[in-house]
Structure 1
Amino acid sequence: MSRSIDYGNLMHDAMRRLIRQVLSDVAEHGLPGAHHFFISFDTSHPDVELADWLSDRFPDDMTIVIQHWFENLKVDDEGFAITLNFGNSPEPMYIPYDAIRTFVDPSVEFGLRFESQDAQDDEPDPLPPGGPDEEEEAGAKDAEVVRLDQFRK
């Protein structure tokens, strides 16, 4: 019986735990200094909760910014709930961690990209404006190589 280590999924789990820990700290203490986040996610994920008009406008993916105005940030083991302002209209949403495609904090040039297991050989989607270039490179089928040297100052 052959068995192997699934490094791709182990890395994704670790990255999701990191996001959960960062968001939990922000929920408890607020955003420190100039930190802010661009989070892109799959709006068609079955556990994403969005207003109908937002899911109609963004049927595949959406990028939110957590910076100046947000309320009701609640973090659990599966995802996070947050209320954001869209044109003076506060909208609650719920985003599971496994719907997240990118998580970027441009204030410190930090970013994570989740590669889909069913991703095509197409070019990856670009990161939100202000994000660092190529946080991760796709390696073998499910693995990622994270270049940590670009985050060192």
Structure 2
Amino acid sequence: MAREIDYGKLMHSAMRGLIQEVLSDVRDHGLPGNHHFFITFDTTHPEARLAPWLRERYPTEMTVVMQHWFDNLEVNDDGFGVTLNFGDEPESLYIPYDAIQTFVDPSVEFGLRFESHEDDEDDDSAEDDEQADFAEDVEDETEKKDAEVVSLDSFRK
């Protein structure tokens, strides 16, 4: 059997490393300027930890916002923990990187979307396991797109 390079797996690893690096910087120095994050994650992931009432309210996925108030940000190689405010009630969460579905910073129109192989079952593409897309339009992050090459020149100021 021929050996193949699993670009999907390599891209996911690199993108999760990027998220880890960004969160580590925020942990050490705080959020700069207008930066803030919308992070959608799979609440059914076996390593995700959240309060029972949140799991009941969000049985499959949940989007959290890290912006004005967050506390106890802890970042490790497998995921991150953070305390967020839900209706004036602080709640601790642990989100494994593998559970993240989208990571968006709308202040700079940057976004990452992780799509699992199950999402593409009806697609006859040759992509193995998972495929990563850059979310170009933060306002419409639910729109499904095929993988595409994005010129970094469009993001330079």
TM-score, structure 2 as length reference = 0.83
* Structure 1 match to 2:132: none
User: Runs of 5+ in structure 1 lacking a partner?
Assistant: 123-129, 139-143
Identical columns (%): 65
Q: Deviations over 1:97-116 (max 9, x none)?
A: 00000000000010000011
Q: What CA RMSD, in Å, does the superposition of the two structures yield over aligned residues? A: 2.3
Q: Deviations over 1:30-49 (max 9, x none)?
A: 00000000000000000000
Q: Structure 1 CA distance, aligned partners of 2:74 and 2:115?
A: 26
Q: Structure 1 CA distance, aligned partners of 2:79 and 2:13?
A: 13
Provide closer, same or farther for how the CA distance between residues 53 and 110 of structure 1 changes in structure 2, counting only shifts above 3 A: same
Runs of 4+ in 1 over 6 A off after TM superposition: none
* Structure 2 match to 1:20: 20
Q: Structure 2 CA distance, aligned partners of 1:57 and 1:115?
A: 23
Q: Which amino acid aligns with 2:29?
A: H
Residue aligned with 2:18, SS: helix
Tell me, yes or no, if the aligned pair for 1:109 and 1:132 is still in contact at 8 Å. no
For residues 117-128 of structure 1, the aligned pairs below 5 Å read 117-120=117-120, 121=122
For residues 69-108 of structure 1, the aligned pairs below 5 Å read 69-108=69-108
Q: Which amino acid aligns with 2:114?
A: F
Among 149, 152, 155, the residue aligned to 1:151? 155
- Number of aligned positions between the proteins: 142
Q: Structure 1 CA distance, aligned partners of 2:89 and 2:66?
A: 16
Residue aligned with 1:107, SS: helix
User: Runs of 5+ in structure 2 lacking a partner?
Assistant: 124-136
Q: Which amino acid aligns with 1:137?
A: K
Provide closer, same or farther for how the CA distance between residues 146 and 70 of structure 1 changes in structure 2, counting only shifts above 3 A: farther
* Structure 2 match to 1:125: none
Q: Does 1:137 align with 2:124?
A: no
TM-score, structure 1 as length reference = 0.85
